[in-house]
Chain A
Amino acid sequence: MPIDQSLVGRRFPPTPPYAVSEDKIRAFVAATGGTYDGGPAPATFPIVVAFQAMNDFLEAEQVDLFRIVHGEQRFSYERAIDPGDVLTATLTVASLRQIGGADIVGTTSVITDEAGAEVCTGTATIVHRGEA
């Protein structure tokens, strides 16, 4: 089933606050074979919050995660993420087009800290392949 065109421009509710800890950063770093001894999180760590926003969006639209592949991802950072940060992501559907039975969805997730200050913006293109 194609994704509803009226979604473009819709902003989804913010994700629940996510508390960044050294342990969470360490597990993320270890999964890609790196080591972590404290300090800022690696550059792609904000995907943890951005992915939560994406998951909530897919669930709200009843889209199966296994039919999704990631097409493109960008981040721009206002500052580094540190242990102790409490982050929230708010996703907006930026674009939607259909190509050959697939939905190409562009999303923007703004990640903010507890004070409401912008920390990072993630823009993603995801490809949804409907049932054959």
Chain B
Amino acid sequence: MRTELDTRTFRVTREDLVAYAAASGDHNPIHQDDEVARSVGLPGVIAHGMFTMALAARYVEEWVGRRGEVLTLGAKFTKPVPVPPEGAEVEISGTCEDQGDDRVVALTVSCNGEQVLGRFKATLRA
């Protein structure tokens, strides 16, 4: 069986990135400071890759209706998610498909029309 999941849009602000840095322990300044981000060739402050992955996992877990059902989770960070002072939007859509004994969720995660996570896949408890 294959199920289409509703498209959802998530707003990301720099305050979220500050909160995520504190909660995750990832204080890389490229997620807080435009100057440092530009010094390493980025357009400015970008979201933590794991912030975007956490949003995607939230999307999956809210669709499932509870946490603790994910068996594997993975993605490539294909493009940065720039977060200007006015914030950014991340759009997520996907499908859930039965594959053997597993249920596999594949997502499309984009920002400004570009895919920011590649091959996002989550395997769920059957």
A residues in contact (CB < 8 Å) with B? 24, 27-34, 39-44, 47-48, 51-52, 55, 65-77, 80, 129
Contact = CB atoms under 8 A, between A and B. Distances in A.
Interface of B: 10-11, 16, 19-20, 22-30, 36, 39-41, 48-51, 53-55, 57-58, 60-62, 66-68, 70-77, 80, 122
A44 B51 CA distance: 9
A73 B57 CA distance: 13
Given A33-B16, A34-B58, A47 B50 contact: yes
Nearest to B55: A32
B27 to A, nearest CB: 8
B22 A73 contact: no
Given A31-B23, A40-B66, A73-B77, 6 more contacts: A31-B22, A41-B67, A43-B57, A48-B24, A51-B26, A69-B77
Given A32-B16, A43-B73, A69 B49 contact: yes
Contacts of A68: 28
Contact of B28 (A32, A33, A66, A129): A66
Nearest to B19: A31
